[in-house]
Chain A
Amino acid sequence: MIKIHTPFNDEILCKLKPFDKVLITGYMYIARDQAHKRMYMEGIPFDAAGQCIYHCGPSEAKNNEVIGSAGPTSSYRMNEYMPYMFENGIRAFIGKGKVSDAVVESIKQNRCVYFGAIGGLGAKLSKCIKKQRIIAYESLGTEALREIYVENFPAVVIINCEGESIYERDG
């Protein structure tokens, strides 16, 4: 397990290889379909430099917990918006599944990383989230844009800065 901290830079990201397991600590941003669409149309409402987006739509927090179940959602639905995010400072995202060739190309061009979280690991991953607050689009409910602070959030490198992917065997 490689321990890394947000915000990210070349030194942290560019040594990572597909299948590397990482534990991420630091602030990151939860967004899914509608929040991406809004950021794409209206601009990113936080300092995006070196930041990481987590593709997720958490369930509500129970009692005194920080957040509800919070695993990854399928990243391909955000294909259209990811190049814009990378061009505006975002250096990584966490999600699941395959993404389009255009996203892979943009990852490579902007030296970003796609981290995979295990789909369906919502209960366990929620325990890594120590703080959360909605920073925009509150009316979207679970789809609102959230800033979170995570400690040792486990992820696997799916695509690295060079555009090398765990899926490459498929051609």
Chain B
Amino acid sequence: MTRKINSDIIIDSVARACIEAACILDKQAYNAIESSLLNEDNETAKYVLSELLDNADIAERDCIPLCQDTGMVISFVEMGIKVQLEEPVEDLINKGIKKGYEEGVLRKSVVKDPFERINTKDNTPAIVYIKQTEGDKLKINLMLKGFGSENMSFVKMLNPSLSQNEVVDIISDEICNRSYNACPPLFIGIGIAGTMDYACVLSKKALLRPLNESNINPVYSDMEERILDKLNKSNIGPAGYDGKTTALSVAILAYPTHIAGLPVAVTIQCHALRHREIIL
């Protein structure tokens, strides 16, 4: 038996999710900023963190974007094998984005060609990753990825004989160098191994993990903790104006790889964590 899902339901859900993500700060992110405020004793850091909470309150109250950069949309789709759609899911997501960015008056930041740089005027196309699953559910995760932080993200093809400690040091130092422009406090997604491209995908996917969870493998949860600790001892702080809160979380996803390789990708996400999950 197949389960048919109407196009309109998907388009409307995506549109609504884009507007909500842009204007209402993820509750976990809000709480993380609030807790970090209690941990800071630097006056400027406290000022910046309370301004961020105030900004989130104003954005939600007036339904205006938290940040003018409402991102390029990245979507992770899990589609049950019994789901039947009227159009390809990627087309439906793009139609939803077009509707959401128009109705929510969100900034259209996508250009059609990297050199001609003509705006597509509807913030499409999105970057869509589709995975097939068992069952009859359609799960669509949307990430509105701002480019202040995206421009600071990176991938490195490391030497496979490096130890975990060495990798922790390399990643932490590189993030520190790049964090001033990325609107800290940051959320860090790290993809380890696979191939160069897949490590990058994992680094994005890692950012979808709930903030109160760690990697189930103690090797990786330990690396997550140590990277977070190093970043927060760097004294870069909120907005890069000093303080203990440079990052709010670090999430690692690992994958099998080749004997010759150790690709490591890091997606840097600013404090405006804008994700929404749709389950139909």
Contacts and interface: CB of A to CB of B under 8 A. Distances in A.
Interface of A: 19, 21, 34, 56-62, 65, 68-71, 73-74, 76, 96-98, 116, 118-124, 126-127, 141-142, 154, 156, 166-167, 169
A131 to B, nearest CB: 18
Q: How large is the interface on B (under 10, 10 to 19, 20 to 34, 35 or more residues)?
A: 35 or more
Contacts of B105: 59-62, 68
B107 A142 contact: yes
Nearest to B185: A120
Interface of B: 44, 47-48, 51-52, 54-56, 58-59, 62-70, 105-109, 117, 119, 148, 151, 180-183, 235, 238-242, 270-272
Q: Lowest 10 CB-CB distances: which A-B pairs, in order?
A: A119-B183, A97-B181, A123-B59, A59-B107, A69-B65, A69-B68, A124-B55, A122-B68, A122-B67, A123-B58
B64 A21 contact: no
B68 A57 contact: yes
Contacts of B182: 97
Specify the main secondary structure of chain B where it touches its partner. Answer: loop
A166 B96 CA distance: 43
Contacts of B242: 166
Contacts of A62: 63-64, 105
Given A62-B63, A167-B240, 9 more contacts: A57-B68, A61-B105, A68-B65, A73-B148, A116-B241, A119-B67, A122-B66, A142-B107, A166-B241
Contacts of A56: 68
Contact of A19 (B180, B238, B241, B272): B241
A65 B85 CA distance: 40
Nearest to A166: B241
B107 A69 contact: yes
B51 A121 contact: yes
A128 B239 CA distance: 19
Specify the main secondary structure of chain A where it touches its partner. Answer: loop
Contacts of A71: 67-69
B272 A59 contact: no
B23 to A, nearest CB: 8
A118 B68 contact: no
B48 A68 contact: no
A69 B52 contact: no
A96 B272 CA distance: 15
A81 B271 CA distance: 29
Nearest to B48: A118
A98 to B, nearest CB: 5
Best-buried of A58, A61, A70, A124 by chain B (most CB within 10 Å): A124
Nearest to B117: A34
A74 B106 contact: no
Contacts of A166: 240-242
Nearest to A118: B239
Given A59-B107, A60-B107, A68-B105, A120 B180 contact: no
B107 A57 contact: yes
Best-buried of A21, A76, A118, A154 by chain B (most CB within 10 Å): A118
A141 B181 CA distance: 24
